[in-house]
Amino acid sequence: MYALTFSRFGGTEVLAYRQLPDMTASPGCLLVSVSAAGLNFADIYRRQGRYSLAGTAPHIGGYEGAGEVIAVGEGVTEWRAGDRVGFADVPFAHASQLQVPVSHAIRLPKNLSDVQAAAILLQGLTADYLVNDLVTIKPGDKVAVLAAAGGVGRLLTGLLVARQARVYAVASTRAKRDIALNLGASQVLAYQDWAVQLHREGGVAVVFDSLGSTLDHSLSALSPAGRVVLFGMAGGEIPPLSPASLLADSKGVIGGDLWTYLSSRQQRQQRADRLFSALATGQISLPPLSPFSLADGAAAHQLLESRDFSGKVLLLP
């Protein structure tokens, strides 16, 4: 098998494409020939030493992807060689072979390719739980989405528009704001004064904040009884918050993490099926795809790390 590896932390120069021993299927697992794997900011942070990392050196990044079952381990009865499978939270995905625990395996519909599945599973399941588990969105609700042209932001905006919410999309550049408008956002805002503008207009019911460092601004953008849904720290450290500051206007902050909701095999499949249905019915759409061969993984990391790209970077073993 082949894998994109690193043995020390640093820039893209630490990445190495290398051959490793082939795998066998462990009990309760599927041995998968990986067709496509997603590249996410978490993979960059892991390479830099800023994020939790599974295993020992040589490290292999990646957690989401899709492929074909080539062998099943002892005790596995519901899968067989030749089945297509997707996964959103299985480490070491940036390789040509991967062991996927049956509890983490997701069946894919026939109308979804492996590349498409790898492009949407992790970020799509994140957007799905944000709108279905953390807050109730009603038609006409005013909501703000930070990083609206990013991987989760694009899908989240689509799901909110499908619920007939009035979406205020916040993005860093004119091009990214245009993307949000094309996705159905009612209004687009720049980071320089987005919270001031929303406060001046009476505030919003919900702010979806994946940046973390913007928490104070997100709270100021809320209308009374509004909620900040905090689900990331892409912008840096989250500022300290006094609970007493929330009392006067009945505001609140809800923390969210996808792994809380992917709690069983059934949960993974049900949520994935709901996501696949949203894609099939046009509520959401696939982002622009930029595929790289696994051997060109350093170039893929460089593209995503530049933050100039708005879409999905994929690695193809």
- Residue 53's pLDDT band (cuts 50, 70, 90): confident
pLDDT, tens digit (0-9, with 9 covering 90-100), for 1-52? 999 999 999 999 999 999 999 999 999 999 999 999 999 989 999 999 988 8
Rounded CA-CA distance 279/159 in Å is 10
Instruction: Pick the range with the lowest mean pLDDT from 12-16, 112-116, 223-227, 255-259.
Output: 255-259
Q: What is the per-residue pLDDT for 214?
A: 95
pLDDT of 257 above 80: yes
The reply to whether domains 2-122+262-316 and 139-255 share a CATH topology is: no
The per-residue pLDDT of the chain, averaged, comes to 95
Indicate the pTM of the whole model. 0.93
Rounded CA-CA distance 104/87 in Å is 6
Q: What is the per-residue pLDDT for 63?
A: 95
Mean pLDDT of 167-194: 95
37 and 126 in contact (C-beta within 8 Å)? no
114 and 67 in contact (C-beta within 8 Å)? yes
Dump strand ranges (E) for the chain: 2-6, 16-19, 29-39, 59-60, 65-72, 84-87, 97-101, 106-107, 142-146, 166-170, 187-189, 204-209, 222-230, 252-255, 289-293, 312-316
Give the architecture (CATH level 2) of 139-255: 3-Layer(aba) Sandwich (3.40)
Fold of 2-122+262-316: Quinone Oxidoreductase; Chain A, domain 1 (3.90.180)
The residue ranges of every structural domain in the chain are: 2-122+262-316, 139-255
